[in-house]
Chains A and B, each alone.
Chain A
Amino acid sequence: MTRGPVTVTPDDTLAHALRLTREHRIRHLPVVDGGGRLVGILSDRDIRLAMPSPLTTHDAERVDFLGRTPIAAVMIREVVTASGHDPVEDAAKLLYRHRIGSLPVVDAAGRLEGILTETDLLHAFVQVLGGTQPSSRLEVALPDRPGELARVVGILAAHNVNIVGVLVSPVRVRDEKTVIVHVGTIDPRVAVEALEAAGFVVGWPSLEEDVRALLGR
């Protein structure tokens, strides 16, 4: 999440809010009262929906409207929020279920601590998927039953291969799942062979038949 995000108060005008979204290139403004408590949220979409149509009004009238309408008149008051202690996957589920783009993060007293956006979640996802350390990537198909992932990890450990990241992807085939393992080695050949010898199917480009024939394996 972003700590100390840009905020507005209910008495600020829509013109002020619009300026802030453009200046900071943001789409969501938490609305707080004098005590820093969250009282609403305003998105750039809320502002645009509130504006008179350019087909029926002059520019001057629209500017005037934005300049005299308080945020309190437009903001969403029933705000979906998260706590700083929530797991990131819960926050992701909230965004998905409510079809919203951001979650203000509040403390027990309702004071705003930060904001979590779709972009923050995507960033976290990229970190989890890619890892941040140099690694080779193996895709291993597993039978969907207890102990299989442990077997994979055990084989890698037995070959002194450090695991940089593990991701278990949703079931694609019935009774099977795919685990993506980032291993901290430039040379995973021995580990791949050991996994195969143990009966796992490993996705790794050298497993194409014609390459094996070339290398005499």
Chain B
Amino acid sequence: MRHLSALEWWGVHLRMLTSPAQAEQLGEVTDPLGRAPALPFGHLHSGWRAFLGKQEAAYSLWYFEVPDGDAAHAQRLRYRGFAWVKARKVQAEFIFEWG
């Protein structure tokens, strides 16, 4: 899993407190040709399960979005994912979409 170097900075991109069930709704993947697992986050499902397994006491789950760092492409997405947060610090992250 990619770890961003400046987690304090990255914290400004936390958008919404959520739950694993809500996250899995967002991560629903369907494909008419059956070329992805019909599981939350599809081909990334095992990574999602591993991320869920990192939960510890007092962790909260947050949805995050990181835009492109290039000012010329500020509207472009760089990452979307979920983070376990405790005491205002990111403890682990799961990225499910890249720009």
Do the two chains belong together in a single complex?
A: no
